[in-house]
Amino acid sequence: MIELPASELARIDRLLAGGQRRLLGLVGAPGSGKSTLAQALLDALPPGRAQVVPMDGFHLANVELRRLGRADRKGAPDTFDSAGYVALLRRLREQREEIVYAPEFRREIEEPIAGAIAVLPQTQLVITEGNYLLLDEGAWAGAAPLLDEAWYVDVDDELRRERLIRRHEQFGRSRDAAIAWVENTDEPNARRIAATRSRAQHVIRIDD
Ligand SMILES: Nc1ncnc2c1ncn2[C@@H]1O[C@H](COP(=O)(O)OP(=O)(O)OP(=O)(O)O)[C@@H](O)[C@H]1O
Ligand SMILES: [Mg+2]
């Protein structure tokens, strides 16, 4: 569990003060705690006020990654449907009358599931979280301008790597395979993400 600083909640109150729907982006390296923070924010807000729309719902399916020859670097920027993600953000901003459905990534099967997350017309805050929200390459470059605010989730690198290894083990990899995946796949991605940190409006540091 994480303790949410009052200053972060006050920031959200300010963001929502105008009454319109707002999009908050949480960005950070693999394992930095984005999903955990997004859930903590959701729990801290009144029921129905916010919904979490994770970027990792836009992972390409394994069958498509194999077709493209990219299965061994799942998690890299070109292993997501980045244009689809940006189109969904645009749709969420428009806040039309209907429910907008978002996909969700399921770690147990390592595949996204379409239509898993419902964003209701009255949802005021959409919290979208992921690795490449601030990347200035290809279709990803269209994401940042659609966010009302982006927070960079910062954490001690050693702690982050240890958590990632543990999570890979929990989802079935041996310790050696988990370490190899973190070093060869997660860490190159982490460096690209760290390079986008200066584009965030706010940095939140979580080290406990
Ligand atoms: N404050 C915390 N204290 C202890 N464990 C934490 C904390 N935050 C996250 N974790 C753990 O660290 C791991 C990574 O956290 P989380 O899944 O939230 O990161 P993420 O940034 O969403 O990762 P990814 O980029 O891979 O989706 C998880 O196993 C989670 O339970
Ligand atoms: Mg996550």
189 CB within 6 A, ligand 1? no
For ligand 1, atom 7, the nearest C-alpha belongs to 33
d(CA 139, CA 117): 23
Give me the pLDDT at residue 96, please: 79
Task: Give the atom of ligand 1 at the shortest distance from the alpha carbon of 32.
Answer: 21
How far, in Å, is the centroid of ligand 1 from the Cα of 167?
Answer: 8
For residue 39, give the H/E element and its range: helix 34-44
Cβ–ligand 1 contact at 167 (below 6 Å): yes
- pLDDT of 2 reads 78
Look at residue 73 and give its three-state secondary structure. Answer: helix
Cα(75) to centroid(ligand 1), Å: 16
**Whose C-alpha lies nearest to ligand 1, atom 14?**
31
The CATH number linked to 41 is 3.40.50.300
Residue 1 lies in a domain: no
How many angstroms separate the CA atoms of 144 and 90, rounded?
A: 11
From the number of C-beta atoms within 10 Å of its C-beta (0-12, 13-18, 19+), residue 55 rates as: buried
Q: Please report which ligand is nearest the Cα atom of 169.
A: 1
How confident is the prediction along the chain (208 residues), in pLDDT tens digits per residue?
Answer: 677 888 899 999 999 999 899 999 999 999 999 999 999 999 999 999 999 999 999 999 999 999 999 999 999 999 999 999 999 999 999 977 899 999 999 999 999 999 999 999 999 999 999 999 999 999 999 999 999 999 999 999 999 999 999 999 999 999 999 999 999 999 999 999 999 999 999 999 987 6
Asked, for residue 99, whether it belongs to a domain, the answer is yes
Strand, coil or helix: 105: strand
Are the C-beta atoms of residues 29 and 160 closer than 8 Å to each other? yes
- Contact present, 56 and 105 (Cβ < 8 Å): yes
- Number of structural domains found in the chain: 1
- Tell me if 64 is assigned to some domain: yes
Distance 54 CA to ligand 1 centre (A): 14
Q: What does the pLDDT read at residue 124?
A: 96
Domain that holds residue 87: 6-205
Contact (Cβ atoms closer than 8 angstroms) between residue 63 and residue 83: no
Q: Is the CB of 74 under 6 A from ligand 1?
A: no
Ligand 1: centre distance to CA 13 (Å): 25
Q: Is the CB of 33 under 6 A from ligand 1?
A: yes
Is 182 part of any domain? yes
Q: State how far the alpha carbon of 204 is from the alpha carbons of 7, 29, 154, 176, in Å.
A: 10, 13, 6, 31
Would you state the pLDDT for residue 207? Answer: 72
Q: Say what the pLDDT of residue 87 is.
A: 98
Predicted confidence at residue 208, as pLDDT, reads: 62
CA count, 13 A, side-chain hemisphere, 2? 24
Q: Which two tokens stand for residue 169?
A: 């083990």
The pLDDT, as a whole number, for residue 3 is 79
Report CA(183)–ligand 1 centroid distance (Å). Answer: 17
Q: State the helix-helix crossing angle for 157-170 and 187-194, rounded to 10 degrees.
A: 140
